[in-house]
Amino acid sequence: MHFALDFPFVRTAARAAFALLAGLTLGVPPPADALGTATAPYLLVGTGDADIAGTTVAVSNFEIGLNLETVPMPGLTLVEPIPPGTRPFPLGVTGDGEIAITDPGGRLDFANLSIRGDLGVRCAALAATCLDGVSNTTFNGLPFPDNGFTSGVSFAEILAELDVARALIPTLSRDVLLTFPGGDWATNRQILLPAGLSVIDIDTGGNDLLLQNGNLVIDGPAGALAIFRVPRDANFLVSQAAILLGDGGIEPGSVLFHSDKPDTDAHFSFSSAAVNGVAFWDLGRSAGEVSFDNVQGCTQVIGDKLSLSDVRLTRCAFTAPEPGEGALAAAVAATLGGVVARRRRRTVSLVPDSFGPRERERATPGSTDSDSLSNVA
C-alpha cells in the first residue's frame, strides 16, 4: 500500500486542504507553506511499496548531498556545452542529501555511495524491512546504516502534502501549451517566465517526450515559478542534455516537472544528463519509475520507485512559498468543489534558440488550442 489511512494522516491532510480553502473563502492569505514545505528537506522521496514497485530507492555510485566534480563530470557527455547566462551548479559538500522512504513497505538498496546531510535517510518501515542491501556506503564520512539512518518514521505531513498535490496540480488552468507532434523537444528550448506561477502543458501527440543532444534553459525574475505538466500518455526521456535555470533572478527549486502517468513505465528517464534547479515529481501512484543514469546537478526527485546510478546530486527542492495571488489556494478550493480552477492568465516568452540578441517570440496565454506553441523558431 502507498500510505496508511490512519487518523493522524486524515487530520494532517484535512488541515492542509482547509488552510488553503480558507485562504479563498475567508479572504485570508494562503499559508506560506502552501506547497512543498513538507517535502522541502528531502532530495529523494520514495513513495512506493517495494512488493509492488520493486526497491523503492536504489542508488549506486557516487554522491548524494555533495558534488565534488565540475560539470560535466568525467564520463558525462553533453552534446552542447553549458551555456553562459545560466545559474552555476552547486559544488562541494552541500550537506543536503536527505532521503525519505514513506511507505511502510518501502525498501532501499545503496552501493558505493557517499551521503552528506543532516536528517540522513529516514524510512517508514523498521530497519529489518527497509534495509534491502547496503555496501560501501557512508553518511558524513561514517559507516551507513550505523550512522544517518532512522526507521519507523511517521511521514503524515509529507503524505498529506503529496495527496493535496495530486488533487491540485492537474486542476490548475494552463497558461501555455507547448506542442511537439513527434515528441522531440527540438524547439522552444529557451523559456522566459513572468513573476508568479506559470502552468505549462505539453502535447506530444501520444509520443514520449524527448529532450536529447541539447539544453533547455528556463529563466525569469525573482518570484517566477513554473509547473510543466508532462502528458499522462508520455514518458519524459532525457539523454546527453541539460535542463538549467537562467541567471535572471529565478531561484533554484522554482521549476517542477510533474507526471501522473498511470502505469509502471520509467516516467522520467535521464541518461548522461545534467540538471540544475529543477525538480521532478512522479505522483501517479502506479509503481512507475524515475531513472537517473550518469546524471549530475541540483534537483529533487519524488516517485514510487527511484533508480539512480553514477550520480552526483545536491538538493533543489520545489516549493511555492508565495503561490501567485492565491492561485494554489483557489485551485484546492475548486478541486474540493469539483470545479477546475481558473487563474489570471500569464504571458510566457519563448526565446529563439540562440543566446544572441534576437527578438523573442511571445505566447498568448490561456487554455484553448490556440495557445499551442509548436515549432517556434
Query: By the 8 A CB rule, do 320 and 36 touch?
Result: yes
Give pLDDT tens digits for 287-316. Answer: 999 999 999 999 999 999 999 999 999 999
Higher-confidence residue: 49 or 337? 49
The pLDDT of residue 370 is above 70: no
Give pLDDT tens digits for 209-249. Answer: 999 999 999 999 999 999 999 999 999 999 999 999 999 99
pLDDT band at 320; cut points 50, 70, 90: confident
pLDDT average, residue stretch 257-270 = 97
The pLDDT of residue 167 is above 90: yes
Residue where the block lists cell 526521456: 237
pLDDT band at 352; cut points 50, 70, 90: low
Question: What is the 3 state secondary structure string of 106-120?
Answer: CCEEEEEEEECCCCC
**Number of other residues whose CB lies within 10 A of the CB of residue 349:** 16
* pTM of structure: 0.84
pLDDT band at 49; cut points 50, 70, 90: very high
pLDDT at 321: 59
pLDDT band at 351; cut points 50, 70, 90: low
pLDDT at 350: 75
Residues in the chain: 377
pLDDT at 348: 84
Angstrom distance (rounded) from CA 185 to CA 213 = 10
Angle at 226 between CA 253 and CA 168, to 5 degrees: 100
Give pLDDT tens digits for 121-162. Answer: 999 999 999 999 999 999 999 999 999 999 999 999 999 999
pLDDT at 280: 98
- Who contacts 178 (Cβ-Cβ below 8 Å, separation ≥6)? 188, 200, 201, 202, 203, 372, 373, 374
β-partners of residue 289 are 266, 305
User: Which cell numbers in the block locate residue 106?
Assistant: 518501502
pLDDT band at 70; cut points 50, 70, 90: very high
